[in-house]
Amino acid sequence: MASLKSSCNCDDCRFYNLCGGCHPECNHAGCARPCFSCPVRCRRREDVEAWIRDVGGTLDLSFPRALDWPPVPGDLPPVIPEVDGYRTAEYDAAANYPAYAVGASRVFSKKGAGLRPRWRGRRAAGVLGLPPEKKVVLHMFGPDELIERLWTEQFRCRLWDQVAGAGFALVLGPNYSVYGEHPRFEHLINMRRSLLAAVRLASLGVPTAPNVYWWTERDLERWCDCVEKLNIPAVAVNAQTYRTEKDWAFLLAGLEYMGARLGDRVTLFLNGLSRPERVAAARKAVPRVVFVSRDLQMRAQHGRLFGARRGEYAYGEAPALFRKNVELFQQNLRLPALDNVVQS
């Protein structure tokens, strides 16, 4: 850890025990720019108290009252392909799969003012052209601009009520970012917001998995304490931005920590892994993991199979290749054939 800097007000910060002080990767430790021009929240901001009030007056991962957290559906498959929302019935006709995922950018308006018109007042399966028994999982992972707008507009547009009315089988909560170059104060606020968003959905009876990001082992400890205390049945991790080997090693270490600490009581929904060897390593690290993958449909749309090398293409209609990609993903996990998964 870097030495404390007086400009960060670490010595008199009441959240130091959660934070641990400045860290070497932070690009804002000596920041002199005016706060009104900065999108990052640090301890020196003039409006810092307003942000603390906005997240409930604390940056801890706690909730003051008891909450009966809704259970996760027990019949979700170990791999949930994400679809773009178009021609979904054709893909389902080919794969006959029990569950699909859809992302935040497909469901919410660009300005964050609630659901897109085609989703309002309708059930998720119907919007996608699927039979009502099919399960649809919403993941609220998306561009920072959209996720921030959702927070800003959440009460004005009754965001959580709109989501609850869409009948999603499960919602993976919004991923408020924890970037290495940002101050620890920003990390704490965003982890707190990720928890609060999930709590607000769960309070409406929506099965919800809070998104978990971390920067330090202390963050992981706090998240695991929170999951155990609130009896949360599932968490979500968005792995899309962990591309380099260094980033992957960081992510895998965190998954191993949570797997050892939370055991098989908690299901971890892991989004965004596309390399077969990383998928296999993640499954080994976590006792109970479900993968969410946009890669399966996207590869099919471009004539490619899961695990294929760059430049290798397959011939066939996209829905048929989609089914094949789901099968290949299952095989990579040494799981039963697709027909057995569908029938079980």
Which tens digits make up the pLDDT trace of 162-207? 999 999 999 999 999 886 656 888 889 999 999 999 999 999 999 9
pLDDT level of residue 48 (50, 70, 90 thresholds) = confident
pLDDT above 50: residue 112: yes
Q: What is the residue extent of each domain of the chain?
A: 73-172, 212-336
Q: Among the listed ranges 20-24, 92-96, 252-256, which one has the minimum average pLDDT value?
A: 20-24
Torsion angles phi and psi, residue 263, rounded to 5: 65, -155
Q: What's the whole-number mean pLDDT along residues 43-48?
A: 66
Query: Higher pLDDT residue, 53 or 51?
Result: 53
Query: What is the rounded distance in angstroms from the CA atom of residue 19 to the CA atom of residue 8?
Result: 12
pLDDT level of residue 75 (50, 70, 90 thresholds) = very high
Let me know: does 26 contact 183? Beta carbons within 8 Å: yes
pLDDT above 50: residue 302: yes
- Could you give the dihedral angle defined by the CA atoms of residues 302, 308, 313 and 319, in that order, rounded to the nearest 10 degrees? -50
Q: What's the whole-number mean pLDDT along residues 71-82?
A: 97
Structure-token pair, residue 64: 């003051």
What pLDDT score does 341 carry? 47
Which residues, including other chains, have CB under 8 Å from residue 232's CB and lie 6 or more apart?
69, 198, 209, 210, 226, 266
pLDDT above 80: residue 41: no
What percent of the chain is modeled with pLDDT above 90?
70
What pLDDT score does 57 carry? 86
The closest alpha carbon to 80, from 170, 211, 199, belongs to 170
Q: Compute CA 197 distance to the chain's CA centroid, rounded to the nearest angstrom.
A: 12
pLDDT above 60: residue 344: no
- Could you give the dihedral angle defined by the CA atoms of residues 255, 209, 160 and 205, in that order, rounded to the nearest 10 degrees? -170
Let me know: does 84 contact 106? Beta carbons within 8 Å: yes
User: pTM of the entire structure?
Assistant: 0.89
Q: What is the mean pLDDT of the chain?
A: 88
**What sign for the dihedral angle of Cα 336, 233, 102, 309?**
negative
The closest alpha carbon to 257, from 230, 291, 218, 292, belongs to 218
pLDDT level of residue 85 (50, 70, 90 thresholds) = very high
Residue 101, beta-bridge partner list: 82, 137
